[in-house]
Amino acid sequence: MVGELRRRLTLSNHDADGVAHALDAREALLAGFDALEPAARVRLMAGPGFDTALEILHAELPADAARWKSQADATLPERALPEPLVDGNALVAEGMRPGPRFKVLLDLAMDAQIEGRVTTRAQALELVRHAATTLGSPKVDKA
């Protein structure tokens, strides 16, 4: 759909991406925004196209759009995720090898941070260590 719009409207790649993000966010809102876990809701609010999706939905479902906007304004007025308590460098410093599990571990830590289950770097690292053990994340031998 976005490809066809891009071609017909001669949108730039940037503008076409914006339309795609807005349509994706619109679909996510309609698919059950209220049923999402808190971290997933915040990630959607912080994602590209969220506010544009709300503008589109205001024409379709004004009451729902107003409620979702009010929720977003109260929960995440700046529409940005918080600065992560841990990052990939922290995982490497813990002796973990970079790989596909890094994203899983970092997402887990960010979700816990968003939901208030961890509030310090030490708590986030402990959560990641525990999850890495549970997930079987490979460790580098510290000699």
pLDDT in tens, 53-93: 999 999 999 999 999 999 999 999 999 999 999 999 999 99
pLDDT at 89: 95
Tokens of 103: 């994203």
pLDDT at 143: 41
- pTM equals 0.81
pLDDT at 84: 97
DSSP string, 67-123: HHHHHHHHH-TT-SPPPPS--HHHHHHTTBPPSHHHHHHHHHHHHHHHTTS--SHHH
pLDDT at 10: 79
Q: In the chain, which residues have pLDDT < 50?
A: 140-143
User: Strand pairing partners for 139?
Assistant: 96
